[in-house]
Amino acid sequence: MNVGVCYAQADRQIWMRLEVPEGSTIAEAIELSGVLSQYPEIDLETQKVGIFGKLAKLDTVVKEGDRVEIYRKITADPNQVQRRRVA
């Protein structure tokens, strides 16, 4: 089954398609993608993941064509960013 895995940093992003066995979970798709070895800062214990922009749990089973997303931690308070734009 074909799925995508993506992860973005402020200065670069990775998006790959790969074949995973039927019944694979988000965690298994991420592991099979190799993204964890390319980006050792990814911590699936603390970072959120999702499919097509909707939060999901690591044990969620992926479907054909799903895009698994690994979300990075927010480094700026959105309220502070808005205040700086207004100023």
* 4 secondary structure, DSSP code: E
Q: What is the per-residue pLDDT for 87? A: 59
Q: Which CATH architecture has domain 1-69?
A: Roll (3.10)
Query: What mean pLDDT value characterizes the chain?
Result: 90
The yes-or-no verdict on residue 80 having pLDDT over 90 is no
| CA separation for the pair 87, 83 (Å, rounded) | 6
Could you tell me the residue ranges of all domains in the chain?
1-69
The yes-or-no verdict on residue 14 having pLDDT over 80 is yes
Q: Tell me: the pLDDT tens digits for 23-57?
A: 999 999 999 999 999 999 999 999 999 999 999 99
Query: Which residue, chain included where needed, has tokens 């694979």?
Result: 24
Q: Which residues of 43-81 are buried (b: 16+ CB within 10 A; e: fewer)?
A: eeeeeebbbeeeebeeebebeeebebbbeeeeeeeeeee
| CA separation for the pair 18, 66 (Å, rounded) | 11
N-term to C-term CA, the chain:
50
The yes-or-no verdict on residue 81 having pLDDT over 80 is no
- pTM assigned to the model: 0.82
